[in-house]
Amino acid sequence: MTIVTRFAPSPTGLLHVGNIRTALHAWLLACKHGGRFLLRIDDTDAERSREEYVDAIRADLEWLGLAPDGEERQSERLAIYEDAFEKLREAGRVYRCYETAQELDLKRKVLLGRGLPPIYDRAGLALTDADHARFAGEGTAPHWRFRLNHDAPIEWLDGVRGPQHFDPAQLSDPVIRRADGSWLYMLPSAIDDAEMGVTDVLRGEDHVSNTAVQIQMFTALFAAGFGAANSLPRFAHEALLVGREGKLSKRLGSLSASALRDSGIEPEALVALLARLGTSLPVEPIADRGRLIESFDLATFGRAPARFDETELERLNHAIVHQLPYASVAPRLPDGMDDRAWLAIRPNLEKVADAADWWRIVTGPIAAPVLEPEDRAFVAEAAAHLTWSDDPWTGLTGVLKEATGRKGKALFLPLRRALTGLDHGPDMHALLPLIGENEARARLERAARGD
């Protein structure tokens, strides 16, 4: 059986690290088994869905390298939902209700006050044809609930949480359709997974009770003749991400994919972190997607909340930048910066954007450093001794060491300051050839004069 996973975001906001992690794990699972990874845009909420967020979701997945093998939009699948809904209605698995939000809230408070779970009392099932006619005459449209089968215990083997058991009598029949005819999340999602042949659903542990309800929806849909697979997907519910201050949801704005991208985080760093965060595998700066795919295993996932640390992401990003080949960063580098320059400057970078600052050191102009008189005389001698070769730095320092007796910091630091204006930076063996003979001699002479 071909593995089919899906990522189903609602286009009501930007992708953040929590749902990026879900998408990544679904992609990794599909890739590991040679399966298919689908993108489904859950845009049935017309009031909150925005087309710019649809575009942003696609752009973020492309940036992350998580290319879907197919895309669907719920707003284009409404006829499919109507067909499935009619089948469920004929089978007696959905029913009409008329309580207002205030009435339902009062019922919940009464039950909680009695120490009882706030489960819907199924009052809608007791309504007669006359009751429905009366509501219709008053212009009150019904909302619809899915009728759970209380005689069928709900069980599944969760890919992360292990065996799961739910008593359907302890769950409320979920509202699946509003009075205006629009859909809530639960039923369309189950319909899509059944109709699209999804074999594995990966999502956060906050959806566990939703899964219990949807398992009965799957069963009812299959019994009504809907769905080609006629078999339940496998489910895996991951522990949620938390931050240093607790719930990550309070800080998602700064952790959106677009915000991280704009801050200079490489997609390889974010993928390397999220692929293993919350597992028993070490989080390492792995830029090779093949290694991450091969090591992906739901059996390594833990039950404890996974802690997302921006400092750790920065550390990984730093290490990943040092692995990036020139071809992958060339469009983001300054004009004139070639492969040789990238390899010379890369070890000093924390982010690719920092390459522009180092390239300015190469291309100049630089501010002449203030040197002590003895160091000014020393760099003047360096300008006189400068000759060019495949390794001009070794040649220059070797001649100066023999001529002046200087060594170590006293030998190297004044030269670095005169040539770059800084006390630190890329290896001068690699940097000096990029500066060039004429510019290097001119910088040494300016530093000697104190210009």
Backbone phi, psi, residue 4, to 5°:
-130, 120
351 annotated to a ligand binding site: no
Are 191 and 224 spatial neighbours (Cβ–Cβ below 8 Å)? no
Residues contributing to the annotated binding site:
250
Residues contributing to the annotated binding site for ATP:
250
